[in-house]
């Protein structure tokens, strides 16, 4: 279901904005100004952005409008505004990764993702808030501010890409880029009613993403519709010689897969419901409303011709402990570069201290508590005498998880689960309980550890708050995620008579 004809520019899908821009019905300057006005009016409450440069955005929009006026050949995304998570390095534009240790840093280059979006003619509205170094599930670990969920300002917008989710759900950007290491695109998308896709590991360049856990990090789209996600993914994906883990394969025809899915025919598609992710005997920590919406969505898929069966993936029960050893281990190594010498903050360099003392003081003051916890955890897991017991064991579990997926693909085309065991929780509710915070990632971690593509698409409301449905697919079969998600989106949109996010304008528990 596309945007209603009379919708304001700030609630128009990105695909439709692209059409209006190409047809000359609206200018990029007008669209950009509409978003800047809305940011000005509402971001004081929402806290989605860390940095907005209105002059730069309007200048970029003006250049696109001028090029179009001259009749230059422009791509389908030209003139559409966008927001980038602050983990994406942007030339000359402040980039902090949500940390005080990078305050004031203006990178001398663009990440490949940023460069590709610039080359496509998109207009950067600003950089969005995030958990410090992408460590978290609520955006409360940002060193700068709390971001609120547009559905309920007393609740978290998910994390770590919570600035991006709040910006898009709150109509402060038509779409945004997030990054996902263990769920940071999918979980914030789920709890704010967006579509969020984590691409196959290696299919979107990591060059210029500030590294958290290099064997897991991937950038991807956070959007209002499945088609928008596919379009944004196509723009950022594909081989990049600057990333040594980049897969040398084309990004695939994702928008076409989304359009095909929206036709609603899933005849012959084999769908596996993962028992360990909220199924029989595995419902601890899952809210009944989440499980009910999930079951209804599965029934919708069946109604469109999909063959649904249960699939057991026993090693998924170990994904959480394995992830929370592997990711901190890699982080402890990646974050060694923040030493007070090369970037950003430097503390105590007044001539009275030696280099080690300056480094220690800088890291002591520059990193927040969760980042320190991860560095300590990771350093311990990698240390001599413990390496085999912790990091080594976790890597073995990772292999078992990959094997569970591989054997599942003998029987099914996609696996499905809830995206998050709960809806958005109240701000502050989990800040003192890291284990409860980590539990938000139960459903997203298996695909992360196996490097597989996974999408979250809205599947209704529980207590007036969005619930996400996750579709996981084999490596490089991202198109299947888009097809299934688009089918579900189209079926739900036509049943409720409007797009999911339009429900945000209705009272809680309303029409969506």
User: How many other β-carbons are positioned within 10 Å of the β-carbon of residue 474?
Assistant: 19
Residue with smaller CB distance to ligand GLN, 148 or 198: 198
Mark whether 70 is an active-site residue: no
Distance CA 263, CA 271 (A): 18
30 exposed, middle or buried (CB, 10 Å; 0-12, 13-18, 19+)?
middle
Site string for ligand GLN, 203-242 (x = CB under 6 A): ---------x------------------------------
Q: Which residue in 121, 126, 182, 503 binds ligand GLN (CB under 6 A)?
A: 182
Please tell me which residue in 27, 28, 85, 97 is annotated as part of the active site: 85
- Comparing C-alpha atoms, which of 250, 185, 195, 189 is closest to residue 219? 185
Residue with smaller CB distance to ligand GLN, 167 or 271: 167
Distance CA 45, CA 38 (A): 12
Q: Which residue in 135, 311, 326, 377 binds ligand GLN (CB under 6 A)?
A: 135
Residue 152: phi, psi to the nearest 5?
-165, 110
Binding part of the chain for ligand GLN, among 94-102, 107-115, 181-189, 220-228 by CB under 6 A, reads: 181-189
Site string for ligand GLN, 316-335 (x = CB under 6 A): -----------x--------
The answer to whether 371 and 133 are in contact (CB under 8 A) is yes
Distance CA 154, CA 425 (A): 9
Q: Which residue in 16, 65, 180, 228 binds ligand GLN (CB under 6 A)?
A: 180
Distance CA 338, CA 147 (A): 25
User: Binding to ligand GLN (CB under 6 A): which residues in 278-317?
Assistant: none
Minimum distance of ligand GLN from residue 182's CB (angstroms): 3
Minimum distance of ligand GLN from residue 141's CB (angstroms): 8
Site string for ligand GLN, 404-443 (x = CB under 6 A): -------------------------------------x--
Mark whether 160 is an active-site residue: yes
Where on the phi/psi map is residue 472: left (φ > 0), alpha (ψ -120 to 50), or beta? Answer: beta
Please tell me which residue in 138, 160, 246, 448 is annotated as part of the active site: 160
Minimum distance of ligand GLN from residue 381's CB (angstroms): 14
The answer to whether 411 and 270 are in contact (CB under 8 A) is yes
Mark whether 85 is an active-site residue: yes
Question: b or e along 122-148 (b: 16 or more beta carbons within 10 Å of the residue's beta carbon)?
Answer: bbbbbbbbbbbbbbbbbbbbbbbebbb
Tell me how far the alpha carbon of residue 324 is from its chain's centroid. Answer: 19
The yes or no reply on residue 184 touching ligand GLN (CB under 6 A) is yes
Residues noted as catalytic = 85, 160, 184
Residue numbers of the site for ligand GLN (CB under 6 A)? 134-137, 160, 180-184, 212, 327, 441
């Amino acid at each position: 279901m596309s945007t209603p004809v009379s919708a304001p520019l700030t609630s128009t899908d990105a695909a439709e904005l692209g059409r209006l821009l190409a047809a000359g019905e609206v200018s990029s300057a007008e669209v950009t100004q509409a978003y800047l006005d809305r940011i000005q009016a509402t971001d004081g409450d929402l806290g989605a952005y860390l940095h907005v440069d209105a002059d730069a955005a309007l200048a970029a929009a003006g250049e696109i409008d001028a090029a179009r006026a001259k009749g230059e050949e422009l791509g389908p995304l030209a003139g559409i505004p966008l927001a980038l998570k602050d983990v994406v390095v942007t030339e000359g534009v402040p980039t902090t990764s949500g940390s005080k240790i990078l305050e004031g840093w203006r990178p001398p280059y663009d990440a490949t993702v940023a460069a590709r979006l610039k080359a496509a003619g998109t207009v950067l509205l600003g950089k969005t808030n995030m958990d410090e170094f992408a460590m978290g599930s609520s955006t409360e670990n940002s060193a700068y501010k709390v971001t609120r969920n547009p559905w309920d300002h007393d609740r978290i917008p998910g994390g770590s890409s919570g600035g991006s989710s709040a910006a898009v759900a709150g109509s402060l950007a038509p779409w945004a880029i997030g990054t996902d290491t263990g769920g940071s695109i999918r979980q914030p998308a789920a709890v704010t009613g967006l579509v969020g896709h984590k691409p196959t590991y290696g299919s979107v360049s990591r060059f210029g993403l500030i590294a958290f856990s290099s064997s897991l990090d991937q950038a991807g789209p956070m959007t209002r519709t499945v088609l928008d996600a596919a379009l944004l993914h196509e723009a950022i994906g594909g081989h990049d010689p600057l990333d040594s883990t980049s897969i040398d394969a084309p990004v695939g025809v994702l928008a076409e897969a989304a359009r095909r899915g929206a036709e609603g025919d899933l005849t012959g598609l084999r769908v596996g419901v993962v028992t360990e992710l909220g199924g029989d005997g595995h419902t601890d920590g899952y809210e009944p409303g989440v499980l009910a919406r999930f079951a209804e969505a599965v029934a919708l898929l069946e109604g469109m011709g999909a063959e649904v069966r249960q699939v057991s993936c026993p090693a998924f029960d170990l994904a959480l402990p394995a992830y929370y050893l592997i990711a901190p281990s890699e982080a402890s190594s990646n974050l060694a570069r923040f030493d007070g010498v090369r970037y950003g903050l430097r503390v105590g360099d007044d001539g009275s201290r030696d280099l080690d003392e300056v480094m220690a003081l800088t890291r002591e003051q520059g990193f927040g508590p969760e980042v320190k916890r991860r560095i300590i955890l990771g350093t311990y897991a990698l240390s001599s005498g413990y390496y085999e017991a912790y990091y080594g064991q976790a890597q073995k579990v990772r292999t078992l998880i990959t094997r569970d997926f591989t054997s599942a693909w003998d029987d099914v085309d996609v696996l499905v689960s809830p995206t998050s065991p709960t809806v958005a929780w109240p701000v502050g509710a989990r800040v003192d309980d890291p284990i409860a915070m980590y539990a938000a990632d139960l459903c997203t971690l298996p695909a992360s550890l196996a490097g597989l593509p996974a999408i979250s698409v809205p599947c209704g409301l529980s207590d007036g708050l969005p619930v996400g449905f996750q579709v996981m697919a084999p490596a490089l079969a991202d198109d299947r995620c888009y097809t299934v998600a688009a089918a579900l989106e189209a079926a739900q949109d036509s049943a409720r008579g409007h797009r999911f996010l339009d429900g945000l304008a209705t009272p809680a528990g309303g029409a969506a």
